[in-house]
Amino acid sequence: MTEPTFSLCVYCGSRPGNQGAFSEAAQSVGEWIGHRGGQLVYGGGRNGLMGIVAEATLAAGGRVVGIIPKALVEKEWAHQGCTELHVVDTMHERKRLMADRADAFLALPGGIGTFEEFFEVWTWRQLGYHDKPVGLLNVAGYFDGLMSFIGTSVEHQFMNEWQMGLIRVGSDIATLLPALVQDAGMASEARIEEI
């Protein structure tokens, strides 16, 4: 198998949610990655949106790197069909390895784990720990309430527009994903120039 053209870390639910649009988006994201010779980096589970995006990536010819802690192997039914499946000791190791293996990050609908991972990589970018693009795919208005709350934080001056500019939010896969990959390429070139 040839080297992937890019590596996208996707955070999403280990459940499918209650709307078909969520599963359809996970399927489309996986197909988009695979058809473009990309690599999915994700939490290693085979349930819910996690399993859908992994299966779709594999079916479309992409590579899948799953990273899962030992404690979740049985609970999330680790996806044994991954191109690479890494079983680690802790959540901290999982998140570090996922971040290391990714060129960009994308959050799909999910629960508390998805929120935590999305906010962490956004915070890391703000602090300069990485310069990789971070995206939020707002499927069927799922993140409308979250974005409204974040707007409240900006309004009350706990955040600012510069911080908001560190993420890309969109509902159209065909627009958001190419922008993230393009931004990742630009970030990669900047890192090369620094060396």
- Which residue segments constitute the domains of the chain, with CATH numbers given? 7-91+101-117+124-170 (3.40.50.450)
Distance CA 41, CA 108 (A): 13
pLDDT in tens, 100-148: 999 999 999 999 999 999 999 999 999 999 999 999 999 999 999 999 9
Beta-carbon contacts of residue 82 (< 8 Å; ≥ 6 apart): 44, 54, 64, 65, 66
CA distances to 55, 141, 169, 185 from 22, rounded to whole Å, are: 15, 10, 16, 28
Distance CA 89, CA 104 (A): 24
Burial of 172 (0-12, 13-18, 19+ CB in 10 A): exposed
Rg (CA), the chain: 16
pTM: 0.93
Mean pLDDT of 19-37: 97
Q: What is the pLDDT of residue 4?
A: 87
Please state whether beta strands 7-11 and 104-107 pair in parallel, antiparallel, or not at all (unpaired). Answer: parallel
Nearest to 8 by CA among 103, 110, 146: 103
